[in-house]
Amino acid sequence: MNKELFKPQGLIQKADRRQFLKMGSLTVAGAGLLLMGCNDDDRMPSMPGMVNLGSGDVGILNYAYALEQLEAGFYAEVMKGSYFANANAEEKTIMGDLEKHERAHREFFKVALGANAITELEFDFSSIDFGNRNAVLAAAKTFEDLGVAAYNGAGQFLTNADLLLIAGKIVSVEARHAAAIRDLINPNSVDFAGDDLIDANGLERTLNFQQVLTAASTFVKNEIDFSQLPS
Amino acid sequence: MNLMKLLDTICPDTKDAESKDRFYSRRDAFRQFGDFGKKVALAAVPLSVLNAIPQIAKADTATLINVLNYALTLEHLEYRYYQLGLDAGVVVAAERPIIQKIRDHELAHVRFLTEVIANVLNGTPVAEPAFDFTAGGNFSPFSDYPTFLALAQAFEDTGVRAYKGQAANVMESDVVLTAALSIHSVEARHASMIRRLRTKKGQDMVKGWITGNSIGTLPAAAAGIYAGEENLTHAGVNVSTLTGIDAAGVSEAWDEPLSMQAVLGIAGLFLKSSN
């Protein structure tokens, strides 16, 4: 709907960032109203509703819940595809484990958030060929690396130490996944912790809400309003 | 612990304006800090970082220094271990690039933590201790490759738990917390790779993730490294009961923290008694 709203962060002057984020929510809301008034606009067929992650620690948990929904949804599709059906024993075990782990994460956040949980998101994985090993592994790599960078970037915004610990317990498992997937793609190489992710100080990249949700938006049908998240 | 009770106690809007300003200034400082870190080692820390950090109360700064010196001790151990292994020629040629990459990361962590402790927090970085990687003659990691990889797994999985266990103690500083998280996930990537490498080589059956509290084929002394990893309950929710997913799978999906005391007990096995 409004990808132009989500400009790359580098284009936004630093001093204006908080202001931008505040304006962002208003603009997004306005766009939603406009669309409601345009029922005959066939560019937006059956658009699922806007999802507001909320604010504070609840908002961060909903952000994590959204990402876990995405990952769990992806592996559920992997299980149904012909790549998985024909995969070797090692890769079947790994994909089966990842499906279980991400489903466990998703269901945990759903129950933990209770009435504060966002709705179940709708996904479009049609760009991924689930019969093609390379395509499935490439997508898995994208999702796992994205999850790690998202948790690493969001940790600083949690105010509750117990929630921070829970996020920490999950992010290292996502990193274990990411390393394994990368090793399946390029076995026994150094890609498991590649220079594309890890800088000269040995620090893994972090991504902010906007970067993560923009990347995820390729696969998520719902428009996600993250404007109330801490900044 | 009930998560919703926790959430009820969270009042992000009650921070007074002054503390909010400090909060944001630290966060802005980190952004510069992060950009900077990509370019070079921290030879010169941006003035904004130096100005922002001292606004943390002195007691908190002392805690940060203490925690980072603890992390630095573990990074010293890991770096020295891999370097000695590479020097000894115990690593097979095909896998040297993997071990070199891990060694490079551990050395970068040593340098990074040293710089942050000394130049950002104005503390004194701990010197590298003298190590005994035979643990009193019990192991031969530098002449036996399976032992080398087994201890590497033990150190990496311990490192992941150690960083996780300190998250709450550094959360006052966005700079330090984010840096610690960004090291933590790198250690987890190392752990996954070493674990899977061992299994691919027929030395173990472990996966990249930790199943229950299994030590696989590691020596019995490794039990403390995996104690507690069998946990299924988070924020009061037993996730296996909730989802019907088997205990093995749920235990794999969450890594558990380890206290400083427990970690130092493990690391202490590899310190020369003269330390």
Q: What is the mean pLDDT of chain A?
A: 85
Pairing of strands B237-238, B233-234: antiparallel
Q: Which B positions 41-100 lie with beta carbon below 8 A of chain A? A: 41-42, 94-95, 97-98, 100
Question: Which among B230, B253, B259 has a CA at the least distance from the CA of B169?
Answer: B259
Q: Do residue B104 and residue A202 have CB atoms under 8 angstroms apart?
A: yes
Helix extents (H) in B89-173: 96-115, 145-165, 167-170
Does A15 score more than 80 pLDDT? no
Compute the distance between CA of residue B260 and CA of residue B162 in angstroms, rounded to an integer: 7
Q: Which CATH number fits domain B58-205+259-268: 3.50.50.60, 2.30.30.240, 1.20.1260.10, 3.40.50.1370?
A: 1.20.1260.10
Per-state percent for chain A, helix, strand, coil, to nearest 5: 65, 5, 30
Question: For the segment B85-141, what is each residue's pLDDT rounded down to a tens digit?
Answer: 999 999 999 999 999 999 999 999 999 999 999 999 999 999 999 999 999 999 999
Look at residue A231 in the predicted model and tell me its pLDDT: 87
Q: How high is the pLDDT of residue A49?
A: 77
Residue bearing tokens 């409004």: A2
Per DSSP, which regions of chain B are E strands?
233-234, 237-238
Q: Does A228 touch chain B (CB under 8 A)?
A: no
Q: Show residues of chain B in contact with A164, CB under 8 Å.
A: 167-168, 171, 177
Residue B243 forms contact with A (CB below 8 Å): yes
Please indicate whether, in this complex, the C-beta atoms of A200 and B38 are within 8 angstroms of each other. Answer: yes
| DSSP sequence for B27-57 | HHHHHHHHHHHHHS-SSS--HHHHHHGGGS-
**pLDDT digit string, tens, across residues A40-85:** 334 444 567 799 999 999 999 999 999 999 999 999 999 999 999 9
| pLDDT at site A138 | 98
Mean predicted confidence (pLDDT) in A203-230: 97
What pLDDT does residue B27 have? 41
- Six-digit token pair at B74? 């573990």
Give the per-residue pLDDT at B12: 29
The answer to whether residues A155 and B177 touch, using CB atoms and an 8 Å cutoff, is yes
CATH architecture label of A57-223: Up-down Bundle (1.20)
Strands A51-52 and A224-225: parallel
- pLDDT at residue A105 tops 80: yes
Kindly tell me if the per-residue pLDDT of B10 is higher than 60. Answer: no
Least confident of A107-111, B8-12, B18-22: B8-12
Q: Does B245 touch chain A (CB under 8 A)?
A: yes
Domain spans of chain A?
Answer: 57-223
pLDDT value of position B31: 40
Beta bridge partners of B234: B237
- Work out the percent of chain A whose per-residue pLDDT is above 90: 78
Measured distance CA(B170)–CA(B180) in Å, rounded: 8
Task: Find the residue in B nearest to A229 (Cα).
Answer: B12
Residues 130-189 of A with CB under 8 A from B: 148, 151-153, 155-156, 158-166, 168-180, 183, 188-189
Closest Cα partner for B75 from B146, B174, B163, B138?
B163
B15 or A163: whose pLDDT is higher? A163
Sign of CA pseudo-dihedral A230, B2, B8, B10: negative
- Under 8 Å between Cβ of A98 and A54: no
